[in-house]
Amino acid sequence: MNMSKMVSTRHMLLDAQEKRYAVPAFNIHNLETIQVVAETSAKLGSPIILAGTPGTFSYANRDYLQAIVETTAKKYNVPVALHLDHHEEFDAIKESIDLGTKSVMIDASSLPYEENIEKVKKVVAYAHLHDVTVEGELGRLGGREDDLVVDEKDSMYTNPAQAADYVARTGIDSLAVAIGTAHGLYKEEPKLDFDRLAEISEEVSVPLVLHGASGVPGDAVRRAIELGICKVNIATELKIPYSQELRKTLVENPEANDPRIYTKEAKEAMAAVVEEKIRMCNSQNRY
């Protein structure tokens, strides 16, 4: 057994930035989804980012998830990071950092610009004391992420010049950009603003992050990676095959009562999507 520890996303994203690939960050919810992502990623030699929203941590408890991911990190010979996704409260972030989490996102994108900066700076100051990487977000994505709902007409794209100022003043380690993606699934194929992304890449030196990648065509994601995206968030596209296959299994087997058995096909369906996204990001065979 490999006795490695959980890591931050610092080195994995810098390596992706240098070599022009991306690390997929998969949203997990429980033991089964962590097993699927970790086993599939390790089999393909991809670094592992296990991302959890505030709702996931409320559901599973921070100490439970922390312990499961710490065990995961010891099990595999690839880097493993537990990442806080779309956290908005300093106290919740601090609690996870104190437990040993090494990668966090502070989402203050709903606030006015100067307030966004001040809130993020507070998190960065505490996180960097503990060798924790911080992701910030400038611009807002439409759609739903847990209880955070942004109407499409209110979503705002990231301003390239402002992004440079934001990174410099906050000290963040990676930047989530709004270039036309949204949380959840799309009513029609999204149109990503690649020109804007290219400008942001010119202005900003830290690794860039693409949220809302579920349902975005693979060619569009690969183009975004060519233009500087180093981390790609995947959530909804994992939940759908898992739940559909689980529902199908239980309907076809109404007497099934053992989760060790009836989740098997659901986990396999989710694993197929994990592998597809790893290959889309070209993060396989990196370790």
pLDDT 10s digits, 195-234: 999 999 999 999 999 998 778 899 999 999 999 999 999 9
**Binding site annotation covers 256?**
no
Does 30 belong to an annotated binding site? Answer: no
Task: Check whether 71 is labelled as a binding-site residue.
Answer: no
How many angstroms from the chain centroid is the CA of residue 52? 8
pLDDT in tens, 143-172: 444 554 444 444 589 999 999 999 999 999
Q: Is the pLDDT of residue 189 over 90?
A: no
| Average pLDDT over every residue of 118-130 | 98
Which residues are within 8 A (CB) of 55 and not within 5 positions of it... i.e. 6 or more apart?
Answer: 146, 147
Residue 261 has what pLDDT? 97
Q: What are the structure tokens assigned to 226, written together?
A: 């060519």
Give the per-residue pLDDT at 181: 77
Share of the chain above pLDDT 70, in %: 91
- Give the whole-angstrom CA distance, residue 59 versus residue 74: 24
Q: Which of 15, 63, 85, 193 is catalytic?
A: 85
- The 10s digit of each residue's pLDDT in 230-284 is 999 999 999 999 999 999 999 999 999 999 999 999 999 999 999 999 999 999 9
Q: What is the pTM of this model?
A: 0.91
Average of per-residue pLDDT across 121-130? 98
Q: Is 85 a catalytic residue?
A: yes
pLDDT for position 212: 84
Supply the pLDDT for residue 185.
54
Predicted local distance difference test score (pLDDT) of residue 163? 95
DSSP E strands in 107-251: the ranges are: 133-138, 143-145, 148-150, 174-177, 208-210, 229-234
Residue 213 marked as a ligand binder: yes
The pLDDT score that the predictor gives to residue 153 is 42
B/e letters for 232-254, b = 16+ CB within 10 Å, e = fewer, are bbbbbbbbbbbeebbeebeeeee
Which residues are 156's β-sheet partners?
A: 140
Overall average pLDDT of the 21-45 stretch? 98
∠ Cα 23 223 197 (to 5°): 90
Task: Classify domain 10-281 by CATH number.
Answer: 3.20.20.70
| pLDDT per residue as tens digits for the range 169-184 | 999 999 999 998 775 5
Average pLDDT over every residue of 128-139: 96
